[in-house]
Amino acid sequence: MLSSTPLTLDNIRSTLTTKSLGQQFHLHQELASTNSEALLLAHAGTPHGTVVVAEQQSAGRGRQTRHWHSPPHVNIYCSIVIRGIGPALKLSEWLAWVPLVSALAAAEAIRTTTSVEVSLKWPNDLLFHNRKVGGILCESAHIASDIPIVVIGIGLNVNMTADSFPEDLRQTATSLYAISHKLIDRNKLISQLLLELEVVLDELGNQGSRRLRRVYISHCHTIGRHIRLFHCKSAPCPPPPEHTYCLSSIYVLRMSYIYDE
């Protein structure tokens, strides 16, 4: 495993230029899950833009409760509390689009910081040559309030070497270091990620999805490919097979909004 520069609040804040995201910042050495911690903070009334980052997760999770491999001191595990939706969208549209524009923001932050161009696999993965570099997991906080709350979880494989992935992931996952052969400054990448996320969420909330839809389509790896859908009548829905999507989930809504002109 490579020796990666530790994450520190001072280093992150030294390049942070956001207006709201990251103004309240919780940095941990280890958490079970940054999303779980952010949801707890959301229920406790933490303000919009609160960020939770951990150097390591013991129970990181992806879509449909799949395990997210989270080794220490090399990657980014980050969750952001978002309150409100802006005037341009209905709640259902906001919930459908937040994961998609979050992926766009992550891709732009990666491009700006590392010059690596990644593509987006609908609904929530970032890919490089068909290998996963990162993923998005958005969860709603069910709080008795008129203001909707979403926690955006972002996991990025940053400074892992190819041989440090578990055997079952080596053919399907990669890292920014493995792609670029350069150690990536994770502090700077987090700052850029929060800036790009703030920009796209502001546009989505105030101007709607028209321009963002075009940008997403231009980056989307899934456009023109066949996907498998299944309809699940049980609750909660069991995890579907890889590359399969549940017809009863919000993911189908996301795809419909992409093409809804």
CA atoms within 13 A on the CB side of 118: 34
User: Does residue 128 contact residue 174 with C-beta atoms inside 8 Å?
Assistant: yes
The DSSP string of the chain is ----PPP-HHHHHHS---SSTTSSEEEES-BS-HHHHHHHHHHTTPPTT-EEEES-BSS-B-GGG-B----TTSSEEEEEEEE---SSS-HHHHHHHHHHHHHHHHHHHHHHHH----EEETTTEEEETTEEEEEEEEEEE--SSSS-EEEEEEEE--S--GGGS-GGGTTTB--HHHHHSS---HHHHHHHHHHHHHHHHHHHHHH-SHHHHHHHHHHBTTTTS--EEE---SSSPPPPPTTEEETTSHHHHHHHHHH--
Stated pTM of the model: 0.86
Query: How far is 45 from 40, CA to CA, in rounded Å?
Result: 9
Phi, psi of 173 (to 5 degrees): -125, 160
Query: What are the tens digits of pLDDT across the range 163-183?
Result: 999 998 899 999 999 999 999
pLDDT at 210 over 70: yes
Phi, psi of 222 (to 5 degrees): -85, -20
Burial 3-32 (b: 16+ CB within 10 A, else e): ebeebeeebbeeebebebbbeebbeeeebe
pLDDT at 261: 34
pLDDT at 122: 86
Query: How far is 70 from 157, CA to CA, in rounded Å?
Result: 9
- All structural domains of the chain: 9-226 (3.30.930.10)
The DSSP string of 180-209 is HSS---HHHHHHHHHHHHHHHHHHHHHH-S
Could you tell me the two tokens for 246?
Answer: 């549940």
Query: How far is 256 from 152, CA to CA, in rounded Å?
Result: 21
Mean pLDDT of 49-60: 92
Query: What are the tens digits of pLDDT across the range 68-103?
Result: 677 899 999 999 999 999 899 999 899 999 999 999
pLDDT at 237: 54
Mean pLDDT of the chain: 86
pLDDT at 24 over 80: yes
pLDDT at 124: 84
Query: What are the tens digits of pLDDT across the range 181-193?
Result: 999 999 999 999 9
Query: How far is 158 from 240, CA to CA, in rounded Å?
Result: 27
